[in-house]
A = this chain, B = another copy of it.
């Protein structure tokens, strides 16, 4: 990638839609699951608890469309379909892992911050979050 580019919004416009894919309700779990090796449809469905088969289908289609997973059909009876990460998918898996690690390390802090925030908001509608002295507004 070209370093030294400059505009924040520029790369953000590229990142945003991808983060939207990644960050949707099921993609991450599926990617992490498949990072472990190829799985078939109902296998995934069982492991990703709570997912409807509709959403799992859509998720896998999206991943396939993005070139992140390979879909392999075995024309047997009953039919069998395997999904596995492509090289691209595996390369995605790494930064996702990093983010997952961050989430895992900090979700305690986050939920504490949330509870503190909710407490402030709940006890008093007019609780000062952080008040700066007037006059130091100039930068």
Seen from chain A, the residues whose Cβ lies within 8 Å of a Cβ on chain B are 1-3, 5-6, 8-9, 11-12, 14-16, 18-20, 22-25, 28-29, 32-33, 36, 46-50, 64-68, 70-76, 80, 82, 88, 91-92, 94-96, 98-107, 109-110, 112-114, 116-118, 128-132, 134-137
Contacts and interface: CB of A to CB of B under 8 A. Distances in A.
Report whether over half of chain A's contact residues are helix, strand or loop; otherwise say mixed: helix
A77 to B, nearest CB: 9
Number of copies: 2
Contacts of A72: 129-132
A110 to B, nearest CB: 5
Given A19-B100, A65-B117, A76-B137, 14 more contacts: A9-B33, A11-B100, A12-B33, A14-B104, A15-B99, A15-B104, A18-B107, A19-B23, A23-B24, A67-B110, A67-B112, A75-B134, A95-B99, A96-B99
Contact of A137 (B5, B25, B74, B135): B74
A128 B49 contact: no
